[in-house]
Structures are given as C-alpha cells and as structure tokens.
A and B are shown apart, each in its own frame.
Chain A
Amino acid sequence: MNDNTIIEMSGINKQFPLVKAIDDGKFDLRAGEIHSLIGENGAGKSTMMKILYGVYAPDSGDIRVGDSHYKTMDTKKAIELGIGMVHQEFMLAEGLTVLENIILGSEPKKGSRIDFAKAREKVETYSRDYGLEIDLNKKVIDIPVGEAQRVEIIKTLYRGAKILILDEPTAVLTPQETVNLFKILNALKEDGKSVVFISHKLNEVMEISDRITVMRHGKYIDTANKEDVSIPQLAQMMVGRKVFLGAEKRSHEITDTVLSVKDIYVPSEREHSKIRGISLNIHKGEILGIAGIDGNGQKELAEAVSGLRKVERGAVVLNGKEIQNMNPQKIRMAGLSYIPEDRNVRGMNKSFSIKENLVADCFYKKPYSSRGVLNRKKIDNYAADVIKKYDIRPADTDICIANLSGGNAQKVICAREIDGDFDVLIAAQPTRGVDIGSIEVIRKILTETRDKGKAVLLISADLDEILALSDRIAVIYEGRITGVLKADEATDIKLGLLMTGEEIYEKE
C-alpha cells in the first residue's frame, strides 16, 4: 500500500434492476496521479465513480477518503471532501454566462448581492494557473463543447476539488482539443491534484495515465502502472479475450455509383442552409467515411438523405432515382438503411420490447403480419434468431429495450437495419458510447455489408474508426466537404487540418 493513497474503495457491490453493476469493486487513488479507469461500456466504470461522488449508494462496501471511512456518500459530502466530477453530459445552464455557471450555487456575496468582481478574480486564477482558456462573458449556449468542458472543470475546482473525476472526457473532443485537455490535466497533476480518467480509448489512456485500473462486467480486474502494460494487453483485460478492431482494407475498383448527393442545401433546427452545397458519390462495395467534428452538418446530411429532413436545394439520387424530400418509408423501399446518430430517440422506441424494435421497419410486411394482423409467432422466432446471431444480451425477446446497455441496444438497431433488402447503409456514429465487444460486432457488420457489395456511408466523430474502416474519407466542416482522401493517403494530421477548415481538395 502506497502512503500517498487518498481514496480507497473496497468490497463495493451495487445491484441495478437487471444487472449487477458492481461486483466486489475495488479502486484506489493516490495524491497527484492521473489514474485511468477503463472497461467496456457497462463494465461499471461510471457507476463506480458515481458511487464515489455520491450519486449512487452502494449496497455494501467501504469508501475511505483520507482517514475516514464511509458506507455511502452523497454529493454534498463528496464536494466537501474535495471530490469533483465532470459528467459525460455537461450540467450547465445554457442561458447563463460562463461565469454565472461557474459560481452557481456557491456565489460570493457582498451584502445581499453577488460579488461578481471577486468571483471573476478567483475564476481567472484557475484559468491562468492551469491553462483553462475560457470566455467568462459568453453564454454557455454559444460556446463549443471543448470550452464547455473546461467550464465544467473550473466549476469543480471552484468548489475546492482536489480530486477530479472525468467521465469519458475526450468523447466529444477533436484530436487538437484532446491534446489541450491533456495539457490541462498534466498541469493539475503538477499542482498535486488527482485525476480519475474514465475512458475506453486505449491510446489516450496510455498517453495520459500514471496507473490504469481495468474493470469488466462490474468486477475489478487489475491495476497496473502504465509502463508495465501495452494496449493489446489492456484490450485483452477489458474484453477477456483477444480483440480485432481494424478492418481488412481491400484495394478495389470503384464501380457503379449507387448513391449520389448533388450540391444539396439542408437546414438545421436553428439555421437555414446548415449544409451548403455538399456533393458526394458512393459506390458499390465501398465504405465512404465522413470525418469531422460533431455538429458540422453530419446529422443533417444523414437525415436529408434518409428523408427525415427537408432538402432545400440539390438532388439526392439513389439507384438512379431522385429521392430528395420523399417520405422516409419510400426512401427505405428505394434501398436505403440508416443507423441513426441519436440512438435513444431516433434509433429505438424505448418503451417497446426488443422484438417490437426489431420489426419496426418490417412489421407491416409478410411474414410478420398478414392483412394487418401481426403474426406474433413469426416475430418471436425472428427476434430469437437475431438475438442469437448478434449475441444481444440479455437474450430475451420480450424485454424492454430500455434495459439494454448501449452496446446491445445498438446491436438491435444494426441488426434491424442490415436485415432485409437495401443497397446503401448510412451508419451515423455507430459505435459512440458502445463497449469494445459491441464495437467489434458492429464494425464487423459494416465491413461485411461492404463485402456483400453494398455501399456504406460511415459518419463518425471517432477518427480512429474512420481510419480503421473507410476506403475513402471525406471531411465535413461547417456544412461543406473540405476534402476527400483515399484511405491510404489519410493521416491524423491531414484529417485534423481538414476538420478545422483548411481546404485541401484531392481528386477522387
């Protein structure tokens, strides 16, 4: 046992309605270290840290902070003890300014009024000391995600946090922003603060951590010094077996174009022409990756092609037929399948069972129904087959899909979309927030789809994923395509430049 240990959690158990989220969990943290907590989705990393931060109460176990032992925490106590957490979803009031958000709940007072000058001074020391660049006067709604994250970090520091828990902080960042975040984390470490870094991106974990703890299925697996482990070892510990995430690249002939997008203009919720003149061609048997920072028009592009969003100008041609502004069902019939970005809203009906979700696109067809009456037996059999084929857990056709982990729910969606007749598959952020086991299955689905001669439009904010799967890569920035590269020409740096607006056009 190291003398520096400031937090020690042991024997932690936590049961959720259907899963044992934490099974004899264990974790310790030293002063002035960056400690990564890794594992697949549903491995219990977030739950473990939410127990430490007092969001969940464990069923049993001991939490030691300093010299004191606790059976349970609550957030108020955690904050008093100097523990701060930056959640995956930011908890900021959009209509307030950055400064107001930071001091919200612990405002310095002058008489009965808020002492903004004092607050500003204090906040500025943090941003200076740790390189946390923020604009205090802007409203949160107007700042980019990277900055919102810095605001969250300052918010916890402002409340006196000595221990920072970051739940998948890089999921929303560009490579450049990630580099910046790591600088900040190192500055915090230099200052003697401790950081818990929850992630499943192993290369980042290897870059930033001092020590690494692996969890799997709610169980503690091992803790290691970074120097003593390698990425393949960690992956194996996370999954419990060897994994292979890359795809076999095939040098193939570009043949028939199945889907072409011709100079389209598409509005977003807030603005006209969020997409301004995108043209793309997707061919049979290829995966075209769309790389780019979230929010540059990826969602609008996918929705415009699938008929869920109006196309203001331009044409979308699928199999030689113009499909822009047709209704989604007709576009599906014309040969499009779509794995939507917003899994929880678009992708599934959370109050429906697995089987009801699986047949959502075909319940009205034979053999799942005839003359308007559902054939429950056929549906049951079909669902049971799919569950087996894609290893969906829990393997129960009637269970409500809301009870599934992100990865398993995504497998349900993928299974539905690739089953049946289609020529083009749009996969938008198919593996976001999904565990490694499911990532492997989903990526395999995508490459198999391509190998069957279908076209795949892969939209992902995860550069590694784009690089691992795509045959060609188009980069989207502020509603335009800034460049199209062949997979073997694409590098992190080139893509990073294109993603921030540098235009390098290369020939298809």
Chain B
Amino acid sequence: MKKNDYIEILLSILAALFIGGIVIFIMGFNPLAAYGELFKGAFQGNFGFGSTLAKFTPLLLTALAFHISTTVSVFNVGVEGSLYLGAMAAAWVGFGLTGVPAVIHVPLCLIAGAAAGGLWALIPAALKVYYNVNEICTTILLNYVAIDITSYMVNFPLSSKSGSPQTPSISDSASLTEFMLPSKANTGLFIAIALFVVLYWMLYHTTMGYRLRSTGANPAFSEYVGINPKREMMAGMFISGALGGIAGAIEVMGVYGCFLDNFSNGIANNGMLVALISRGDIRIIPVMAFFLAILQSGALGMQRYTSLDDSIISAIIALFILFATMQGLFKLKTTFGGPKKHTGLKTGSEK
C-alpha cells in the first residue's frame, strides 16, 4: 500500500462525514453538534469508550478472518456462520464444563470456538478447491445453515428453558474479565490484539505465511515452485473460520455470558467491510475497525442527545465504504501519470 492510498482513505472518511453532515443539516440539526455528540458518545466516560472497545474486538477479528481468506484468494463471506457456530461451541463448553480453573476453561472455550468456526469454513473451502464450486455462493448459503443450526440448538437441546432463546449462562471460570463497567469491554480485546500481532508475524515471518501469500498471489507459480496451492487454500480458510469462531466465542464469554439467538446481526459483514476498505493491507485493519467501532458506538450517544435517529450513522458508514471502495475517486496526481496524460498543450494543426 502506497502513501497515496492512506491519504485516499482519509479523504473518503472526510467526504462521507461531509455528505452525512449535509443530510443531518437537511433533517434540521446542526451537523457539527451532532458529530460532537457522536465523538463524545464514542469516547466519553467508561461507558462510551468501553462500548467502542467492545465493538472493536469482534470487528477486528472478523476483518482479520476475511483478510486471511483473501490472502489465499478465497472470498469467505461465511465468517458470520463461523462466528455463530464458534459462539455456540464456546457457550457449550462454557456451561457444560464445571469445576475447571479459569486458566484452563477460558482457553478450552476459545479453542472450541476456533475449531467449530474453522471446521465449518472447510466445507466451502473443500468445495472450491476440489470441485471448483464458487465459494461466494456456498459461504452465503452456509451462513443461513449455520445460523439456523445454532437457532435450533439454543431453542431445543441447549436451551436454558427460561423462556427466552438462550443457553444457560457459562460458568464464571469461562468468563472473560470485564473492565470499564458498565460497558461491555472485556479482556477479549487483548486476545484480539494479540491475534492480530501473531497473524501479522505469521504472514510475513514464517514459511507458512510465505506459502499462504504465495498461493493467493499466484497459484500457478506456487505450484511450480513446489507449494501445494490446494492445501494452502484449505489452511487459509481454516484460519479464517477459526478467527470468526473466536470472535463469536469472545462475544459469548465477554459480552453476553451465554449464547443468545441471533446475537450478531451482521458483525462479520461489518468486519468484511473493514477488510475491504483496508485494501488488502493488514496493518490498516485495526485502524479501520476502530474507526467503524467509533461510528457504531457513537451513534448511540448521538441518538440519545440529539434525537437524530442512529440510522444516519448506518448511512454514513455506507457512504464511507462507497467512497473508500471507489478507488479512482481521489486519484492523486502522481509524478508518473497513468498510461495517458494529456497536458492540454496543443500546437500546430490543432489551432
């Protein structure tokens, strides 16, 4: 990613905020005041900043999940499904096991979540790699399957039988520590950040990372130098699903304390957008995830103080994504120019 790309992303943010401001103005509010409330909502006090951090965690993890799949050139739209199954697996281990110390219970829940999410992602991966089935179709469809499976489990075999569609609460030994109360911020944040660091290191400093990146960049070349692209694609998809599963597990262990039917409401889709606007640069992902988390958690504050509906934030997020993905919009003039650069100077017969 070049320096210009960073500037383009920044310009996209400003343009989206500007157009959002116009909409807010038309609706009869002061845009600056509304944005002020938004940033206050996202940063002020334990609740404000804590909520931002709580939203940041799953966004970061699901964005990384999507990123690793695109690294092996698979478009995993199924992170949401992995997230649900990972959450369910973690909840199950969380309430099913008792009398285990936290140092064992917490990792067990995370591993269960990762395994469930990862194995689930292997289904579309295998279909793509061995039968050439388009992974976008299969992952979208499998999301419904995954969500419905968890819905069935939470309503029947694993129901808390309390009348609401949720599992029994997980034991204390499986819970992540919350901080900045009364917000939902929890130590899952540090797990997510640690995973980001590990993933970055893995991609750029290990032979496994080399194989994954090589496979995604050029499978024909990879095959030629003796890498098995099929195996690497499967591996990449497993990691992708596992990260989604961990994101779901952290939601259960740190935020809800149990599996709630339909709890996610598109977390992974937002994560996918974070990965997309980061344009394949893993270093940008935390920044973009944090930005989206600010908008999402600040929207609540804005709504509270200005009676402006928080759907405007969804609109601004959508606008921002639109701008950020329109790569040519802010094409900064480079020293070299594209294939054609008309100087506008014309002489001779043009006159």
Binding site for B on A (CB under 8 A): 15-17, 55-57, 64, 67-72, 74, 306, 308, 327-329, 332, 338, 340, 342, 345-352, 356, 360-361, 363-364, 369, 372-374, 376
Please determine whether B210 and A356 come into contact, CB atoms closer than 8 angstroms. Answer: yes
Residues of B within 8 A of A349 (CB): 214, 217-218, 221-222
Q: Known pairs A71-B347, A308-B223; list 18 more (Cβ under 8 Å).
A: A16-B336, A57-B337, A57-B340, A57-B342, A70-B350, A71-B345, A328-B224, A328-B225, A329-B227, A329-B228, A346-B220, A347-B221, A351-B218, A352-B214, A369-B206, A372-B206, A372-B208, A374-B206
- By Cβ-Cβ distance, the 7 closest A-B pairs, closest first, are A329-B226, A68-B349, A68-B348, A69-B348, A360-B225, A351-B217, A349-B218
> Contacting A374 at CB < 8 Å: which of B207, B225, B337, B347?
B207
- Complex CA gap A118/B238 in Å reads 62
Could you say which of B221, B228, B342, B349 contacts A360, with CB atoms under 8 Å apart?
B221
Chain B residues lying within 8 Å of A328, measured Cβ to Cβ, are 223-226
The dominant DSSP class at the A interface is loop
Contact B226 A372 (CB under 8 A): no
Residues of B within 8 A of A57 (CB): 337, 340-343
| A340 CB contacts on chain B under 8 angstroms | 224
Are A374 and B210 in contact, CB atoms less than 8 angstroms apart?
A: yes
Q: Chain B, 172-213, contact with A by CB distance < 8 Å: what is the 0/1 string?
A: 000000000000000000000000000000000111111001
Task: State whether B205 touches A373 (Cβ < 8 A).
Answer: yes
- Would you call B224 and A308 a contact (CB within 8 A)? yes
Establish whether residues A364 and B224, one from each chain, have CB atoms under 8 Å apart when the complex forms. Answer: no
Q: Which residues of A contact B341 (CB under 8 A)?
A: 57
CB contacts between A and B, total, < 8 Å:
96
Cβ–Cβ contact B343 & A71, under 8 A: yes
Please tell me if the beta carbons of A70 and B347 are within 8 angstroms of each other in the complex.
Answer: yes
Report the bound CA distance from A69 to B335 in whole Å.
25
Q: Which of A57, A64, A338, A348 has the most CB of B within 10 A?
A: A57
Task: Tell me the bound Cα distance from A428 to B221 in angstroms.
Answer: 15
- CA A17 to CA B336, docked complex, whole Å: 6
B346 within 8 Å of A (CB atoms): yes
B339 near A56: Cβ-Cβ < 8 Å = yes
Which residue on A lies nearest to B340, using beta carbons? A57
A56–B346 Cα gap in the complex (Å)? Answer: 16
In the bound assembly, the distance between CA atoms of A55 and B338 in angstroms comes to 10
A479 to B210 CA separation, bound complex (whole angstroms): 37
With A16-B336, A346-B221 in contact, is A374–B226 under 8 Å at CB?
no
CB<8 Å pairs between A and B, sample of 27: A15-B335, A16-B336, A55-B339, A56-B339, A56-B340, A57-B342, A57-B343, A71-B347, A72-B345, A74-B342, A306-B224, A328-B225, A332-B226, A338-B224, A345-B218, A345-B220, A345-B221, A346-B220, A347-B224, A349-B217, A352-B217, A360-B221, A360-B225, A364-B207, A369-B206, A372-B206, A373-B205
Establish whether residues B207 and A369, one from each chain, have CB atoms under 8 Å apart when the complex forms: yes
Least CB distance, A297 to chain B, in whole angstroms? 19
Which B67-113 residues have a C-beta within 8 angstroms of A?
Answer: none
Task: Report the bound CA distance from A69 to B223 in whole Å.
Answer: 52
Mask of B264-297 contacts with A, CB within 8 angstroms, 1/0: 0000000000000000000000000000000000
Identify which of A67, A68, A345, A363 contacts B207 (C-beta below 8 A).
Answer: A363
> Contacts A57-B343, A70-B347, A71-B343 given: A376-B227 contact, CB under 8 Å?
no
Q: Is the Cβ of A15 less than 8 Å from the Cβ of B206?
A: no
**Chain B residue at minimal CB-CB distance from A375:** B205
**CB < 8 Å neighbour of A373 from B207, B222, B336, B339:** B207
Q: Of the candidates B221, B223, B227, B345, which one forms a contact with A348 in the assembled complex, judged by CB atoms under 8 Å apart?
A: B221
Contact B347 A350 (CB under 8 A): no
Which of B228, B335, B336 lies in contact with A327, CB distance below 8 A?
B228
**B225 to chain A: which residues have CB within 8 Å?**
328, 332, 360-361
- Complex Cα spacing A351 to B350, Å: 42
CB B321 to nearest CB in A, in angstroms, measures: 24
Residues of A within 8 A of B343 (CB): 57, 71-72
List, in ascending order, chain B residues with CB within 8 A of A352's CB. Answer: 213-214, 217
Q: Nearest Cβ in chain B — how far from A338, in angstroms?
A: 7
Instruction: Please tell me which one of the listed residues A16, A350, A369 contacts residue B217 in the complex, with CB atoms under 8 A apart.
Output: A350
- Centre residue among B207, B208, B222, B228 by max chain A CB count within 10 A: B207
Assuming the contacts A332-B226, A374-B207, asked whether A15 and B346 have C-beta atoms less than 8 A apart, the reply is no
B226 touches A361 (CB 8 A): yes
B226 to A, closest residue via Cβ? A329
User: Whole-angstrom distance between the alpha carbons of A81 and B269 in the complex?
Assistant: 54
Alpha-carbon distance between A471 and B134 when the two chains are bound, in angstroms: 49
Q: Which of B214, B335, B340 contacts A74 (CB 8 A)?
A: B340
When distances are taken between beta carbons in the complex, the residues of chain B under 8 Å from A360 are 214, 221, 225
Cβ contacts under 8 Å, A64 to chain B: 348
Tell which of B206, B227, B348 has the most Cβ of chain A within 10 Å: B348
- In the complex, which residues of chain B have a beta carbon less than 8 angstroms from the beta carbon of A308? 223-224
- B-chain residues with CB within 8 Å of residue A329 when the two chains form the complex: 226-228
Smallest distance from the beta carbon of B72 to chain A beta carbons, Å? Answer: 13
Residue in A67, A71, A349, A351 with the greatest tally of chain B CB atoms within 10 Å = A349
Task: Kindly list chain A residues whose C-beta atoms are within 8 Å of the C-beta of B335.
Answer: 15
Kindly state the separation between the CA atoms of A327 and B222 in the bound complex, as whole angstroms.
Answer: 12
Contact present for A71 and B346 (CB under 8 Å): yes
When distances are taken between beta carbons in the complex, the residues of chain A under 8 Å from B226 are 327-329, 332, 361
How far is A69 from B345 in the complex, measured between Cα atoms in Å?
Answer: 11
Count chain A CB atoms within 10 A of each CB in B208, B226, B336 and give the residue with the most.
B226
Shortest distance from the beta carbon of A262 to any chain B beta carbon, whole Å: 24
Residues of B within 8 A of A342 (CB): 220
| Separation of A15 and B335 alpha carbons in the complex (Å) | 9
Cα separation A16 to B341 with both chains bound (whole Å): 12
Instruction: Please measure, in the bound complex, the distance between the C-alpha atom of A350 and the C-alpha atom of B217, giving whole angstroms.
Output: 8
Contact B205 A363 (CB under 8 A): no
Expressed in whole angstroms, the minimum distance between the Cβ of B201 and any Cβ of chain A is: 9
- Give CA–CA (A372, B211) in the complex, Å: 11
Q: Which residues of B contact A363 (CB under 8 A)?
A: 207, 210
Q: Which partner residue on chain B sits nearest A346 by CB separation?
A: B224
Taking CB atoms, residues of chain A closer than 8 Å to B342 are 57, 72, 74
Q: Which residues of A contact B209 (CB under 8 A)?
A: 374
Inter-subunit contact B205/A376 (CB<8 Å)? yes
A350 touches B346 (CB 8 A): no
Q: How far is the CB of B120 from chain A (nearest CB, A)?
A: 26
CB nearest neighbor in B for A327: B228
Min distance, Cβ A75 to any Cβ of chain B, angstroms:
9
